[in-house]
């Protein structure tokens, strides 16, 4: 379980998060939704220690980030986007690297086959399309076998078939007991896979249980109305 | 660790920076070779001219002294001295006029003159001797200079080696490389080229935006930096060796190979001369470059925590390098032997030509490695606190 307690973060004088607390249970998939520039990626970076937090803010399965950083990171996988892949290395290099660094026992060949990556498994990242790179990223998450997966906009650049494939993978991971926090702008997809959705608003998180409601409508209520009110006041 | 090593190695080896560093080193070391391209090999002729010039100098003095009708006792003594010098000089010219196979004959004549010059200088250091003035070499009139001459020519005679002056045209590969490292290419320039490589690899992840991946690896960040540093250092060292070998092969295929036993004369105490064969010199040069690379790798690792671009990294590292320039070092202090900056000019350290106190070659290598450990230890403490590369 990932526990976040009183998370605050400012960039210069701009407050991004103000005393945010939440937890994500094992086997729970949480969607992370907000307009661009609101702090989705910042939150994911905070959760894996790429940005500074207070010493007792983050706990993953009872392990504090600041006390046992390596043990904390071993249970977590996060790679912001496909630009952070090593352009001159192959897909195979990336997957074997992650498997070894995270001490995982996941069968790489099985992951490659299940994601339909066999055709470019030996190719260098720089030769791949955005969609292929997104598959590589997802494969790295799977190969890491980390308990907690923080995924930033995984559906970008994917065709509808791949989006459905990714959703099936997310649901399978949930079945395996993985905790996932997935940021996305694809509200229909968020509605299909999430147990809860975190909407970022006013430097805090508004958690909404997914009861099958129209997530796009919730989104519009939360952000577009605020935008209209802002426009009227101007 | 093995996987991290493998991935870092693969990324570093594939970088085009390696080609740039290799090419820059080769071009630097081949400077003299290029400047002599198309030039006739005049080394033996030039040497002969040097001997003739020496002989002419003596002859002119003899003529001038003979013209003095009423010579004083001092003038008579000087005339006798010059006549003796002329005897030696004539023997040198006679030996130099013979075929190149008569190297021993020429070395013997040169040794005899060097021994005479030493005896005269030991009697009176102010004795106005007509010394052989080689091109591109400062004329050393000191007693140590005479001691060195005797040691040098005795070694050449004993080992049947023909003299190859520093300014030789189309020098054999071994002499060429030694000359390039000691006299023609500044150590600071060679280190600066290697610093570009260090800067490039230490900032690669920050520049390419892949640093977050390294920062989320479930492994101590000191280990990540250590492996990056170790590989970068080894890669730069291998590039340096490859460049030296490439220059050696190119020059050797054109000018011949030379001999590893060719002597260099130096003094540890300013009184006695010692001989260093070029094989030993090359070994020391390689060890010097290696220890300097290790030191600058440790410094590079520390700098990389604070800068993001190759240019800024290089500027900081070069600023430290420049503090080792003799003109920047300033007056020698008691601390100097214990500071790494005193060992950046490896050519001066190896030949004991520094104007500042040092711990000698072995001490310098040990000191640089010791400082490297210290700097890396400090970087490790810093990384442990901030947890991010």
- Reading the block at residue A50, the tokens are 């790429």
pLDDT of residue B345: 94
For residues A47 and A158, state if they share a domain.
yes
For residues B135 and B49, state if they share a domain.
yes
- Reading the block at residue A190, the tokens are 């968020």
For residues B177 and B222, state if they share a domain.
yes
Are B178 and B280 a contacting pair, CB within 8 Å? no
Task: Determine whether the interchain pair A88/B14 forms a contact, defined as Cβ–Cβ distance below 8 Å.
Answer: yes
| Residue A200 DSSP one-character state | E
- Reading the block at residue B229, the tokens are 């540093």
For residues B129 and B76, state if they share a domain.
yes
Q: Which of these, B313, B69, B74, B25, lies nearest to B187 by C-alpha position? A: B25
| Residue B120 DSSP one-character state | H
Give mean pLDDT in consecutive 10-residue pieces for chain B, a chain of 389 residues.
Answer: 92 94 97 90 89 93 91 91 94 86 88 95 90 84 94 96 90 95 94 97 94 95 95 97 98 95 92 95 97 98 96 97 85 84 94 90 97 97 91
Within 10 Å of residue B378's Cβ, how many Cβ atoms? Answer: 13
- Reading the block at residue A215, the tokens are 């997530």
Q: Hey, which of A7-11, A217-221, B235-239 has the most confident mean pLDDT? A: B235-239
For residues B295 and B368, state if they share a domain.
yes
What is the largest distance, in Å, between two alpha-carbon atoms of chain A? Answer: 57
Question: Coil, helix or strand for A205?
Answer: strand
d(CA B313, CA B304): 7
For residues B248 and B284, state if they share a domain.
yes
Q: Which domain holds residue B245?
A: 2-37+173-386
- Give the containing element (helix H, strand E) for B288: helix B278-304
Task: Determine whether the interchain pair A101/B208 forms a contact, defined as Cβ–Cβ distance below 8 Å.
Answer: no
pLDDT of residue B136: 74
Look at residues A97, A123, A146 and tell me which one is the last residue of a structural domain: A146
For residues B49 and B23, state if they share a domain.
no
Are A138 and A169 a contacting pair, CB within 8 Å? yes
| pLDDT beyond 90 at A8 | yes
C-alpha torsion sign, points A185, A190, A195, A196: positive
For residues A22 and A67, state if they share a domain.
yes
d(CA A229, CA A232): 5
- Reading the block at residue A130, the tokens are 């955005």
Q: Write out chain B residues lying below 8 Å of A88, CB-based.
A: 10-11, 14-15
Look at residues B137, B159, B181 and tell me which one is the last residue of a structural domain: B159
For residues A61 and A91, state if they share a domain.
no
Does the ipTM exceed 0.90? yes
d(CA A40, CA A199): 9
d(CA B235, CA B196): 13
For residues B74 and B112, state if they share a domain.
yes
For residues B109 and B230, state if they share a domain.
no
Report the number of distinct structural domains present in chain B.
2
Q: What are phi and psi of A109, to 5 degrees?
A: -60, -40
Look at residues A146, A166, A182 and tell me which one is the last residue of a structural domain: A146
Q: Write out chain B residues lying below 8 Å of A70, CB-based.
A: 218-220
Strands B263-266 and A63-64: unpaired
Residue B166 lies in a domain: no
Q: Which domain holds residue A93?
A: 84-146
Look at residues B135, B159, B183 and tell me which one is the last residue of a structural domain: B159
- Reading the block at residue A83, the tokens are 């630009």
pLDDT of residue A180: 97
For residues A229 and A156, state if they share a domain.
yes
pLDDT of residue A232: 54
Q: Which of these, A160, A154, A203, lies nearest to A31 by C-alpha position? A: A154
pLDDT of residue B165: 87
More confident residue, A9 or B102: A9
Preferred mutation among B7, B200, B201 to probe A, highest tally of A CBs within 10 A: B7
Q: What dihedral angle (degrees, nearest 10) is formed by the CA atoms of B87, B91, B93, B95?
A: 180
- Reading the block at residue B201, the tokens are 């690899």
Contacts of A151 (CB under 8 A, 6+ apart): A78, A141, A180, A181, A182, A183
For residues A99 and A118, state if they share a domain.
yes
For residues A27 and A142, state if they share a domain.
no
pLDDT of residue A229: 57
Rg over CA atoms, chain A: 18
Report the number of distinct structural domains present in chain A.
2
For residues B211 and B290, state if they share a domain.
yes
For residues A157 and A89, state if they share a domain.
no
Look at residues B104, B137, B159 and tell me which one is the last residue of a structural domain: B159
| CA distance readout (Å), B46 to A192, B28, B40, B156, B262 | 89, 26, 11, 19, 20
For residues A107 and A209, state if they share a domain.
no
Question: Is residue A230 very low, low, confident or very high in pLDDT (cuts 50, 70, 90)?
Answer: low
For residues A129 and A183, state if they share a domain.
no
Residue B167 lies in a domain: no
d(CA B222, CA A76): 20
Q: What dihedral angle (degrees, nearest 10) is formed by the CA atoms of B322, B312, B190, B238?
A: 140
| pLDDT beyond 70 at A226 | no
Closest-CA residue of A relative to B212 is A50
Q: Which of A174-178, A227-231, B56-60 has the lowest mean pLDDT?
A: A227-231
Are A181 and A30 a contacting pair, CB within 8 Å? yes
Residue B21 lies in a domain: yes
For residues A158 and A141, state if they share a domain.
no
Q: What are phi and psi of B96, to 5 degrees?
A: -70, -25
CATH number where A33 lies: 3.40.50.300
For residues B241 and B93, state if they share a domain.
no
For residues B23 and B99, state if they share a domain.
no
- Reading the block at residue B163, the tokens are 């003299």
Q: Write out chain B residues lying below 8 Å of A79, CB-based.
A: 212-213, 216
pLDDT of residue B42: 87
- A70-116 per-position pLDDT tens digit: 999 999 999 999 999 999 999 999 999 999 999 999 999 999 999 99
pLDDT of residue B39: 87
- Reading the block at residue A173, the tokens are 């991971």
For residues A203 and A190, state if they share a domain.
yes
For residues B30 and B50, state if they share a domain.
no
Please report, in angstroms and rounded to a whole number, the separation of the first and last CA atoms in chain A: 44
d(CA A187, CA A164): 14
Preferred mutation among B216, B217, B388 to probe A, highest tally of A CBs within 10 A: B216
d(CA B193, CA B20): 9
pLDDT of residue A227: 55
Average pLDDT over residues A135-155: 96
Q: Which of these, A99, A83, A16, lies nearest to B212 by C-alpha position? A: A83
d(CA B345, CA A50): 41
pLDDT of residue B333: 76
- A20-55 per-position pLDDT tens digit: 999 999 999 999 999 998 899 999 999 999 999 988
d(CA A146, CA A151): 12
Are B368 and B292 a contacting pair, CB within 8 Å? yes
For residues A180 and A113, state if they share a domain.
no
Across the beta sheet with A14-24, the strand order is: A14-24, A2-11, A58-60, A63-64
Q: Which residues of A touch B (CB under 8 A)?
A: 45, 48-50, 66, 69-71, 73-74, 76-80, 83-89, 93, 96-97, 100-102
Closest-CA residue of B relative to A103 is B218
Nearest CB neighbour to A101, from listed B212, B218, B388: B218
Q: Which residues of B touch A (CB under 8 A)?
A: 2-4, 6-7, 10-11, 14-15, 208-210, 212-213, 215-220, 387-388
Q: What are phi and psi of B212, to 5 degrees?
A: -65, -35
Q: Where are the beta strands (DSSP E) in chain B?
A: 263-266, 274-277
d(CA B334, CA B336): 6
Are B221 and B281 a contacting pair, CB within 8 Å? no
């Amino acid at each position: 379980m990932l526990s976040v307690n009183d998370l605050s973060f400012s960039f210069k004088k701009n407050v991004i998060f103000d005393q945010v607390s939440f937890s994500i249970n094992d086997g729970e998939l949480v969607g992370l939704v907000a307009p661009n520039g609101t702090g989705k990626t910042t939150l994911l970076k905070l959760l894996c220690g790429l940005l500074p937090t207070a010493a007792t803010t983050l706990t993953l399965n009872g392990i504090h980030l600041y006390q046992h950083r390596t043990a904390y990171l071993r249970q977590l996988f996060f790679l912001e986007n496909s630009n952070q892949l090593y352009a001159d290395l192959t897909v195979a290099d990336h997957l074997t690297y992650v498997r070894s660094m995270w001490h995982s026992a996941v069968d790489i060949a099985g992951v490659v086959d299940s994601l339909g990556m066999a055709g470019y498994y030996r190719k260098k990242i720089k030769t791949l399309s955005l969609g292929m790179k997104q598959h590589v990223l997802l494969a790295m998450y799977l190969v890491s076998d980390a308990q907690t997966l923080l995924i930033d906009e995984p559906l970008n650049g994917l065709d509808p078939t791949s989006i459905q494939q990714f959703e099936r993978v997310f649901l399978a991971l949930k079945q395996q007991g993985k905790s996932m926090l997935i940021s996305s702008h694809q509200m229909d997809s968020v509605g299909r896979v999430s147990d809860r959705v975190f909407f970022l608003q006013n430097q805090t998180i508004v958690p909404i249980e997914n009861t099958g409601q129209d997530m796009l409508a919730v989104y519009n209520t939360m952000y577009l109305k605020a935008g209209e009110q802002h426009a009227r006041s101007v | 660790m093995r996987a991290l090593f493998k991935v870092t190695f693969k990324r570093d080896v594939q970088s085009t920076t390696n080609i740039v560093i290799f090419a820059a080193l080769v071009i630097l070391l081949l400077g003299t070779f290029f400047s002599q391209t198309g030039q006739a090999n005049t080394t033996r002729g030039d040497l002969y001219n040097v001997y003739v010039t020496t002989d002419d100098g003596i002859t002119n003095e003899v003529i001038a002294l003979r013209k003095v009708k009423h010579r004083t006792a001092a003038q008579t003594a000087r005339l006798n001295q010059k006549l003796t010098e002329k005897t030696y000089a004539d023997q040198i010219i006679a030996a130099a006029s013979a075929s190149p196979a008569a190297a021993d004959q020429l070395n013997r004549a040169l040794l005899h003159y060097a021994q005479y010059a030493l005896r005269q200088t030991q009697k009176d250091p102010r004795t106005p001797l007509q010394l052989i003035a080689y091109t591109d070499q400062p004329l050393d009139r000191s007693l140590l200079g005479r001691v060195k001459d005797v040691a040098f020519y005795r070694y050449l005679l004993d080992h049947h080696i023909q003299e190859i002056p520093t300014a030789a045209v189309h020098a054999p590969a071994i002499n060429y490389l030694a000359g390039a490292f000691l006299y023609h290419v500044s150590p600071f320039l060679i280190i600066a080229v290697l610093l570009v490589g260090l800067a490039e690899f230490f900032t690669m992840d920050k520049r390419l935006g892949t640093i977050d991946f390294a920062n989320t690896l479930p492994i101590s960040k000191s280990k990540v930096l250590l492996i990056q540093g170790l590989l970068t250092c080894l890669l730069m060292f291998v590039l340096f060796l490859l460049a030296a070998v490439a220059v050696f092969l190119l020059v050797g295929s054109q000018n011949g190979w030379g001999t590893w036993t060719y002597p260099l004369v130096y003094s540890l105490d300013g009184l006695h001369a010692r001989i260093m064969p070029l094989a030993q010199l090359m070994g020391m040069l390689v060890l010097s470059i290696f220890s300097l690379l290790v030191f600058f790798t440790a410094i590079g690792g520390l700098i990389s925590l604070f800068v993001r671009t190759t240019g800024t990294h290089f500027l900081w590292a070069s600023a430290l390098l420049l503090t080792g320039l003799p003109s920047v070092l300033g007056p020698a202090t008691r601390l100097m032997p214990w500071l790494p900056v005193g060992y950046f000019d490896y050519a001066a350290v190896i030949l004991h030509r520094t104007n500042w106190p040092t711990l000698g070659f072995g001490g310098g290598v040990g000191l640089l490695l010791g400082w490297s450990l210290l700097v890396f230890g400090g970087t490790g403490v810093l990384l442990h606190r901030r947890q991010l590369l």
